[in-house]
């Protein structure tokens, strides 16, 4: 799909469709709507009066301009009026959620070329650059399909998108917004592809190959093998990997955009490419979606691609411990004791609490590589769904200022995050009788104890854990979200890198 900025007149151009955004209660005041009245005639007033054309969020009305006004033998063929809801609540997430269904509607009517009146998507807190960036993202994420293994692929596709701007606009800054929007949209879709992929295809080795394919002048990629991890003393990660025939991989991606600074931020992603639960095996229903247990690792990997393109002036190291959790003959057992990279001994209380084990060693490696700020992203617990439902990510941290920074970085790009407590009393739940700690604190406060287990290894670094288990997959298509993997976390990480870069200037 080609996405460009253009100043053409959509009315006289041979376009398949024009998309116009409408705010609820402001429909008749819309300058974009009034510009097309001559094209479609009096029928537009009737549709407005009956409420069929409305700015109600999610309302999309398609009209065929050539049918309504047969005088126009050439030119624009269709118009979609896209409801954006109340201006009071308009946000970048609302923009994407409003535009994405309209784009799918256009695709469903076999439109090949689409123009978007970007001025009609401006809000009180969304300027032209913001609108262009979010529009470019939505073109990718809203039109996403996962068809890799479909013998018969969908025949309808939008090939050309023109984001309409005025002729006197400063194209240099606007092109930057367009390009970063495209990069982020593609990165979200890459994370979706990885998490949607079947586990016999998306293995630790294939994730490592994807990462290696992203290596560039500004992004170094290193893959640690079993012997490398063993030499580093990563007994927690290797204990999880023991039950699988697939070799584990530790993926390290390094972006150094500020050679003058020793500050390093680490992004860690849980990369369990399939989680059977190990010997504490999951139920049939519980195992069904476990190909997506590497969604945190997918988000981190994909975010690094967008960061490499945006080139913020800061240093980021991404670490993705990738392995399966399987009940093979050599699998670790409940009651085993393993030793993490920093020497901490861990009693295995539950083999299905494996994500925190691989991330413990990843945290240790991040510290060894000089990280002083650490964010880990993981589909860690089912308990987070019980705590927060399916509308926001759970956050846990040891520094109120850093946690607030991460939450605000997510909120400002439309990824809701809510902080939960990390009171010291919860750590008593994973005290062990025979080792330093155990890997499960029981059912009570499960999301908290799982997070705090990872935080136990943070050293002196500022640390935030993002539990995306409830947000990493959607069972329905709604707004910008397409059924399946969501790519949760990608935008937060990319924006956090940008925010930290801007703060440092």
Q: Which residues are known to be catalytic?
A: 282, 356
Determine the distance from the C-alpha atom of residue 331 to the mean position of all C-alpha atoms in its chain, rounded to a whole number: 32
Phi, psi dihedrals of residue 348, rounded to the nearest 5°: -85, 100
Angle between helices 171-196 and 128-141 (to 10 degrees): 30
Using CA atoms, how far residue 71 sits from 37, 39, 64, 120, in Å, is 14, 9, 13, 26
Maximum distance among all Cα pairs of the chain, rounded to whole angstroms: 85
Phi-psi region of 69 (alpha: psi -120 to 50; beta: other; left: phi over 0): beta
DSSP code per residue over 232-251: TT-HHHHHHHTT-SSPPEEE
Q: Which two tokens stand for residue 366?
A: 């991040």
CA 481 – CA 197 distance, rounded (Å)? 17
Radius of gyration of the chain (CA): 24
CA 4 – CA 13 distance, rounded (Å)? 15
CA 489 – CA 24 distance, rounded (Å)? 30
CA 209 – CA 201 distance, rounded (Å)? 12
Q: Which two tokens stand for residue 179?
A: 């390009």
Q: In 3D, which of 98, 208, 16, 92 has the Cα closest to residue 492? A: 92
Residues with Cβ within 8 Å of residue 172, at least 6 apart in sequence:
none
CA 220 – CA 85 distance, rounded (Å)? 44
Contact between 493 and 373 (Cβ < 8 Å): no
Q: In 3D, which of 207, 223, 315 has the Cα closest to residue 266? A: 315
DSSP code per residue over 461-493: SEEEEEE-TTTSEESS-BTTB-SEE--TTHHHH
Residue 15 C-beta-side C-alpha neighbours within 13 Å: 26
Beta-bridge partner residues of 466? 377, 395
């Amino acid at each position: 799909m080609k996405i460009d900025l253009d100043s053409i007149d959509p009315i006289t151009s041979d376009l398949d469709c024009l998309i116009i955004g409408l705010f609820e209660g402001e429909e008749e005041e819309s300058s974009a709507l009034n510009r097309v009245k001559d094209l479609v005639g009096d029928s537009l007033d009737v549709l407005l009066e009956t409420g069929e054309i409305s700015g109600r969020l999610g309302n999309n009305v398609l009209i065929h301009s050539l049918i309504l006004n047969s005088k126009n033998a050439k030119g624009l063929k269709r118009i979609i009026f896209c409801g954006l809801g109340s201006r009071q609540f308009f946000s970048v997430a609302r923009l994407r959620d409003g535009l994405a269904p309209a784009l799918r509607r256009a695709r469903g009517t076999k439109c090949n070329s689409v123009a978007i009146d970007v001025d009609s998507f401006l809000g009180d807190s969304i300027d032209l650059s913001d609108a262009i960036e979010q529009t470019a993202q939505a073109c990718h994420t809203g039109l996403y399909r996962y068809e890799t293994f479909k013998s018969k692929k969908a025949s309808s596709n939008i090939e050309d998108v023109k984001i309409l701007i005025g002729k006197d606009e400063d194209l240099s800054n606007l092109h930057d917004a367009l390009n970063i929007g495209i990069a982020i949209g593609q990165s979200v879709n890459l994370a979706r592809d990885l998490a949607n992929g079947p586990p016999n295809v998306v293995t630790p080795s294939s994730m490592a190959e994807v990462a290696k394919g992203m290596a560039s002048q500004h992004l170094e990629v290193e893959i640690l093998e079993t012997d490398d991890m063993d030499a580093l003393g990563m007994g927690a990660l290797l204990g999880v990997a023991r039950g699988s025939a697939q070799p584990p991989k530790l993926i390290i991606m390094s972006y150094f955009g500020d050679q003058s600074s020793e500050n390093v931020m680490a992004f860690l992603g849980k990369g369990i490419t399939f989680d059977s639960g190990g010997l504490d095996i999951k139920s049939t229903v519980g195992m069904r979606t476990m190909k997506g247990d590497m969604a945190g690792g997918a988000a981190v990997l994909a975010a690094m691609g967008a960061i490499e393109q945006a080139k913020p002036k800061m240093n980021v190291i991404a670490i993705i411990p990738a392995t399966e959790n399987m009940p093979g003959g050599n699998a670790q057992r409940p009651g085993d004791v393993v030793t993490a990279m920093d020497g901490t001994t861990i009693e295995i209380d539950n083999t299905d609490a494996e994500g925190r084990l691989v991330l413990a060693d990843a945290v240790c490696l991040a510290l060894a590589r000089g990280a002083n700020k650490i964010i880990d992203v993981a589909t860690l617990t089912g308990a987070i769904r019980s705590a927060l439902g399916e509308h926001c990510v759970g956050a846990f941290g040891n520094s109120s200022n850093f946690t607030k920074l991460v939450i605000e970085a997510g909120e400002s790009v439309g990824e809701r995050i809510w902080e939960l407590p990390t009171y010291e009393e919860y750590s008593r739940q994973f005290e062990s009788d025979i080792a330093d700690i155990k890997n499960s604190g029981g059912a009570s406060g499960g999301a908290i104890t799982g997070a705090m287990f990872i935080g136990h290894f943070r050293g002196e670094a500022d640390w935030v854990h993002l539990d995306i288990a409830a947000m990493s997959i959607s069972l329905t298509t709604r707004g910008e979200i397409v059924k399946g993997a969501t790519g949760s976390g990608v935008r937060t990480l990319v924006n956090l890198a940008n925010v930290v870069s801007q703060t440092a200037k």
